[in-house]
Amino acid sequence: MEKTILLYFFALLICLPLMGQGNDTLKINLDEAIDLARRQSPQYRIIVARQENQYWQYQLFKSNYLPQLRANATLPSFNRSVNVVQQPDGAEFFREVSRLDNQFGLSMSQTITATGAEVFLNSNLRRIDNFEPIQNFQYNSQPVFIGINQPLFAFNQLKWDKKVEPLRFEVSKKIFNQDMELIGRNVSDIYFDLLLAQTRYDLATNNRKANETLFNITERRYQLGKANEEDLLQIELQLINSEQEERAASADLANQSLSLAVLIGLSGSENIIVSNIDNVPNLIVEEEIALAYALENNPNPMDFELRIREAEREVARAKGETGLVGNLQANIGLTQFVENEAIGQAFINPLDQQVVNLQFSMPILDWGRMKARRRVASVQLEVEAANVYQEKLNFEQELRTQIRRIAIIKGQFESSQRARQIADRRWQLAQNRFEQAQISITDLNIAREEKDRAATSYITAAKDFWVAYYDLRAITLHDFEQGKNIDYYEFDWQGESVLD
């Protein structure tokens, strides 16, 4: 019984590490890897944080056009010092001053987009307590104070921001969708690198096992006098090389597994096993249809328009800030002040208060400075328009090239798939014929090299297709399999950050 218990615990100690390794093994296909990366990868978190920043910047822009209510207070402001005090006759004397100043006010303002003006409504109350050289207190009230601040002939920032900022936000949403789609492209790239490393490791292991078998067969033949020593040494050398290749493939497999784990947001301790992909989508994409989707969904066309508007804004800014500029300030309201009276007296029988201030500024002699500034902005608009035109042509050319490339790559994938099947079958036949001493070791090695090359070429062709496929989706932001546009923008940015 004691021996049985000891054997049980010994077996358990051996199995525990193996169980832990099993728990760390993650089998995953391409769709699952992409889905994980789009929910938890570092790249996803960067994309979401950048878009959240764009969202709140847009909210900040919209707040400029809504009423603003503010409270202003000085509670208190105490001053005790020796100051120069001007007397009624104009003479100045040093006097000890000691006073307490408290004030509180409410202000509401509203901008007017069409003219760039600001309309405001204020209400203020102020009390001053003097302790030196005389003792008294005073109230000054402004129960209501309405005014307007209207720039004249000036650049209207509010008007141009309303043309630019909504477009900028729409561009950011399209960039967000494109970045999310590019996650699939990046994952596909690393996924097939891991699949290729996995395939090379399997090939190296199988080659090592096959070389062990061939070495045993050749050794028996040598002992029977049916094989020469040169063949035996060649097989033994192949066996040593295959063992080295297996170790190198194992190290590369671990590195590629770690790369994919980090990319999709895992800890890196998992042993990831990826699934092979035997088929690719049967896509038939027409150039003109894909181009229409790209012009509708891709951020570049809208960004081209944004850049032109920004350049036009700078032209308007240069014109508005380099000529005749004026400002009209007008307000009307009620006010009252009392001395050594109760606070309520400051609101009885208020007096009228009106202020009008009209200012103008115009350069007389600036040695061409203002003209040069306007010309710089105009030329910059022309340069930007030329750049945008060229980039539009490049964009369309890139899309057409990508569509044609996918058709070519799909054909290469199908050819490599067939080549792998043929090479595998030829390798099986070559092994059988070598065991029957019908072919040489050289012919057997040629068949094995062709088999290995066909296997890796098949994985490379699959990688090329899927990377190109996700590139096309990122350009058009259209799912050609599902027949619908791609839109990941489903976040609620209100309240806490989506990253919390």
Please state, as a whole number, how many other Cβ atoms lie within 10 Å of the Cβ of residue 466.
Answer: 24
With a pLDDT cut of 70, the percent of the chain lying above it is 93
Q: How many angstroms separate the CA atoms of 273 and 93, rounded?
A: 91
Query: What's the first-to-final CA gap in the chain, in angstroms?
Result: 56
SS3 390: helix
Using one digit for the tens of pLDDT, what is the confidence trace for 191-216? Answer: 999 999 999 999 899 888 888 888 88
What is the reported pLDDT for 494?
55
Average pLDDT, the chain: 86
Q: Which of 8-22, 225-239, 407-421 has the highest mean pLDDT?
A: 407-421
User: Could you give all domains of the chain from N- to C-terminal order, each with its CATH number?
Assistant: 22-58+162-306+384-485 (1.20.1600.10), 69-112+117-155+325-361 (no CATH)
- Extract the tokens encoding 176: 């967000």
Specify the amino acid at residue 333: G
Mean pLDDT of 3-14: 38
Are residues 328 and 150 in contact, defined by beta-carbon separation less than 8 angstroms?
Answer: yes
Using one digit for the tens of pLDDT, what is the confidence trace for 12-37? Answer: 333 333 333 444 788 999 999 999 99
The pTM of the full predicted model, rounded to 2 decimals, is 0.81
Are residues 480 and 293 in contact, defined by beta-carbon separation less than 8 angstroms?
Answer: no
Which own/partner pairs from 223-231 qualify as long-range (CB within 8 Å, at least 24 positions apart)?
226/437, 231/441
Please state, as a whole number, how many other Cβ atoms lie within 10 Å of the Cβ of residue 288.
Answer: 8
pLDDT level of residue 182 (50, 70, 90 thresholds):
very high
Return the ∠ at Cα 385 (arms to 384 and 390), rounded to 5°.
95
Mean pLDDT of 171-182: 94
What is the reported pLDDT for 12?
38
Q: How many angstroms separate the CA atoms of 316 and 434, rounded?
A: 84
Nearest to 160 by CA among 395, 54, 378, 319: 319
Specify the amino acid at residue 275: S
Q: Quickly tell me which residue has 């989706």 as its tokens.
A: 473
The least confident of 88-102, 116-130, 141-155 is 88-102
What is the reported pLDDT for 491?
60
Nearest to 201 by CA among 442, 29, 452: 452
CA dihedral 329, 335, 338, 344 (to 10 degrees): -140
Q: Which of 330-334, 362-366, 432-436 has the highest mean pLDDT?
A: 330-334
Q: How many angstroms separate the CA atoms of 463 and 95, rounded?
A: 88
What is the reported pLDDT for 499?
47
What is the reported pLDDT for 492?
57
Are residues 170 and 445 in contact, defined by beta-carbon separation less than 8 angstroms?
Answer: no
Mean pLDDT of 26-50: 92
DSSP 8-state symbol, 298: -
Chain CA centroid to CA 467, Å: 19
- Extract the tokens encoding 332: 């009307």
Nearest to 480 by CA among 425, 424, 407: 407
Q: Which of 95-99, 225-229, 255-259, 442-446 has the highest mean pLDDT?
A: 255-259
pLDDT of 500 > 90? The answer is no
Are residues 189 and 260 in contact, defined by beta-carbon separation less than 8 angstroms?
Answer: no
| Dihedral sign for Cα atoms in the order 312, 313, 318, 321 | positive
CA dihedral 207, 210, 215, 220 (to 10 degrees): -170
DSSP codes of every residue in 38-107: HHH-HHHHHHHHHHHHHHHHHHHHHHTTS-EEEEEEEEEEEEEEEEEEE-TTS-EEEEEEEEEEEEEEEE
Q: How many angstroms separate the CA atoms of 270 and 261, rounded?
A: 7
How do beta strands 117-132 and 136-152 pair? Answer: antiparallel
Q: How many angstroms separate the CA atoms of 268 and 172, rounded?
A: 32
Using one digit for the tens of pLDDT, what is the confidence trace for 303-315? Answer: 999 999 999 999 9
The least confident of 10-14, 149-153, 188-192 is 10-14
